[in-house]
Amino acid sequence: MGWCMLRASAAVAAWLSLCAAAGFAQTVNIPEGFTPLFDGKTLKGWHWSLTNHHGSTGKATVEDGALTLKQNPYGQGGLLVTDRKYKNFELSLEVKAPFGCNSGIFFRSTESGSAYQIELLPGTGTTGNLLGELMRVSVAPKVTDPSVWKDDDFNVMRLRVEGDAPHLTLWINGKQMWDVQEPINDKIAGETSGVIGLQLHWSAAYEPTGGSMGTGAAKPDKAYQFRNIGIKEIR
């Protein structure tokens, strides 16, 4: 192979490398100083809980750089959790939840899903409320401006958690929704750390019947999507 061809091949290789890097950068776009929890390509660092009450056969794939969760079979959900536990941190992620679906972001969670939870229930004005999953929460704030949430689109959520009795702050699309100091640690047996979980709820309705959720419009192929997931631990 001639010198010109070698230089051309090297240039092509460099160009392909830059394109791949650019594609990855577009897929994983987290705030400065944050560490990716999802690489935009694989499920590395995550696993399905086998002991939660939502199910254990949920389907997790990567579609267009987004972590995509679907019921499998329909009606059987699950809880996808991080391999690592976290205590004090800021979490940033983008969330897309179809209208009529129900999901949640768990933190300081046990493997079986006892956790603080941020509600994801589009179309109800409750998305962003703080709940307890299999536990009681002393102070459960509600979002101050539900109109900030965009149905059927990606929304940026940022959560700050700090302290044994946690000081909790949530922003949605850049606007602070609540800032609360829990008077006690609500976790079981004094736990102060836990996994982060993405809930795949089991209760979405198959057809629009106007049921208990008001719309019941989610069909089996509807998916929850999460992307640009990053964390910054607070030492």
State the CATH number of the domain containing residue 87: 2.60.120.560
Q: Same structural domain for residues 24 and 45?
A: no
pLDDT score of 81: 98
Hey, what amino acid is at 105?
I
What integer pLDDT is reported at residue 8 of this predicted model?
43
17 and 108 fall within a common domain: no
pLDDT of residue 208: 47
What pLDDT score does 202 carry?
59
Domain match, 174 and 199 both: yes
Per-residue confidence (pLDDT) for residue 219, from 0 to 100: 62
pLDDT of residue 21: 41
Amino acid at 161: V
Give the pLDDT of residue 99.
77
pLDDT in the model for residue 6: 41
Are 179 and 143 in the same domain? yes
The pLDDT, as a whole number, for residue 25 is 38
Backbone φ, ψ for residue 233 (5° rounding): -75, 140
pLDDT recorded at residue 145 = 97
- What's the pLDDT at 26? 44
Q: How many domains does the chain have?
A: 2
Q: Are residues 95 and 206 in the same domain?
A: yes
| pLDDT for the residue numbered 54 | 86
Residue-number span of the structural domain to which 105 is assigned: 31-233
Residues 25, 48 within the same domain: no
pLDDT digits (tens, 9 = 90+) for 51-87: 999 888 889 999 999 999 998 887 788 999 999 999 9
Whether residues 15 and 106 share a domain: the answer is: no
Are 19 and 93 in the same domain?
A: no
* DSSP string computed for the chain: --HHHHHHHHHHHHHHHHHHHHHHHHH----TT-EES--SS--TTEEE-SSSSS-S--EEEEETTEEEEE-SSTT--EEEEESS-BSSEEEEEEEE--TT--EEEEEEE-TT--EEEEEE-TTTT-TT-EEEESS--S-----S-GGGS-TTS-EEEEEEEETTTTEEEEEETTEEEEEEE-SS--SGGG---BEEEEEE-S---SS----TTS-----TT--EEEEEEEEEE--
Do 64 and 143 fall within a single domain? yes
Q: Give the span between the Cα atoms of 90 and 226, in whole angstroms.
A: 16
- Residue ranges of the chain with per-residue pLDDT less than 50: 1, 3-6, 8-26, 203-205, 207-217
79 and 154 co-located in one domain = yes
Q: Are residues 120 and 182 in the same domain?
A: yes
